Amino acid sequence: MNTTDHLPDYREQSPEVAARFAKIKERPVVLEIDHLGRQFAGEHGSVTALRDINLKIHRRELVCVIGPSGCGKSTLIRIVAGLDQATSGRLLVDGKEVSGPGPDRGMVFQGYTLFPWLTVTQNIMFGLEMQGRAKTSARSEAEQWADLVGLGRFKDNYPAQLSGGMKQRTAIARALAANPRVLLMDEPFGALDAQTRCQMQSHLLEIWRNVDVTILFITHDLDEAVFLADRILVLKANPGEVQEIIEVPVPRPRRIDQIHSPEFLATRRRLDELIHPKSEHPPEPLPIIRLTQAGDDVE
């Protein structure tokens, strides 16, 4: 931990980064989460999964939500997608209150959820067809999207014939083709191996740069959050509440070697403090029984 002692404050922003944030704040608010709360009826009374969440996301902003497992990240994004109902608060897209799912809020799930009976192109066409587009024009647009996410050669493959990364790229293309105002992503790269995940992150940023879309991205991976986000919403668990909203001081365009830059490390350290707070009660050591022979130590 010695190397991080001389890190800058994570709130310090270079002039370019500060200018970028000023510019973002001038853009219209696309998604507004207003005093949102969610309680679940449990066996022993109700459980508060989310309490008083407030967030305004501006056009073409990329916001990450991070927090420990079980803090309500999925619940939050499912409510935004309209797949779950908030017990209090409101949700506004482009200033209009919404409830229930709709094509203005596209979603990419951790489990891909591609339609297994449709090819890559047909999966991407699905949203367009739901909006009443003619088959031929939907197909040609879907093929462009397949090219855009680098799946040109796999247009006619079924999901079962794709690797995890390719499936997730299809899912991203499928969501974007429906032309949503907000793209919601719930730990989309969580099931991928480290190398593929890293590639997918760069790829997502490249797509985002070229497409007019606002992204709300859920993750529990600190590096992923810092690498992708303009702002990071940090949740705490029991009940799920906003701890802090961090403006990431790492300049764009992001490159993979920036993960060693001081701003990156400073932000990451701040996230680490928030998510893994120094506990007054260190966890009790496990009652480990020695199974190896004496003198066989690894430490």
CB of 29 to other proteins, least distance (A): 21
> What is the C-alpha separation between 86 and 6, in angstroms, rounded?
43
Q: Is 277 a binder of ligand ADP (CB under 6 A)?
A: no
Q: Is 52 a binder of other proteins (CB under 8 A)?
A: no
Half-sphere exposure at residue 150, Cβ-oriented, CA atoms within 13 angstroms: 13
Stretch that binds Mg ion, among 70-78, 140-148, 164-172, 203-211 (CB under 5 A): 70-78
> What is the C-alpha separation between 24 and 21, in angstroms, rounded?
5
Residues between 142 and 181 that touch other proteins (CB under 8 A): 144, 147-148, 150, 153-154, 157-163, 165-166, 174-175, 178, 180
> Which one of other proteins, ligand ADP, Mg ion, none interacts with residue 89, CB within 5 to 8 A by kind?
none
Q: Is 43 a binder of ligand ADP (CB under 6 A)?
A: no
> What is the C-alpha separation between 46 and 80, in angstroms, rounded?
21
Options 75, 170, 201, 219; binder of ligand ADP; rule CB under 6 A: 75
Asked whether 81 and 175 are in contact (CB, 8 A), the reply is no
By DSSP bridging, strand 231-236 and strand 96-97 are unpaired
Side by side, which strands form the sheet with 96-97? 45-58, 29-42, 88-93, 96-97
Total chain residues near other proteins (CB under 8 A): 51
Options 20, 203, 236, 252; binder of other proteins; rule CB under 8 A: 203
Q: Is 292 a binder of ligand ADP (CB under 6 A)?
A: no
Handedness of CA 209, 10, 110, 97 (dihedral sign): negative
> Which one of other proteins, ligand ADP, Mg ion, none interacts with residue 98, CB within 5 to 8 A by kind?
none
> What is the C-alpha separation between 165 and 174, in angstroms, rounded?
14
**3-state DSSP percent of the chain in helix, strand and coil, to 5:** 35, 25, 40
Where does residue 201 rank: exposed (0-12), middle (13-18), buried (19+ CB within 10 A)? buried
Nearer to other proteins, 66 or 146 (CB): 146
Q: Is 102 a binder of other proteins (CB under 8 A)?
A: yes
Q: Is 74 a binder of Mg ion (CB under 5 A)?
A: yes
Binding site for other proteins (CB under 8 A): 81-83, 101-103, 105-107, 109, 111, 113-118, 126-127, 130-131, 144, 147-148, 150, 153-154, 157-163, 165-166, 174-175, 178, 180, 184, 195-196, 199, 202-203, 206-207, 209-211
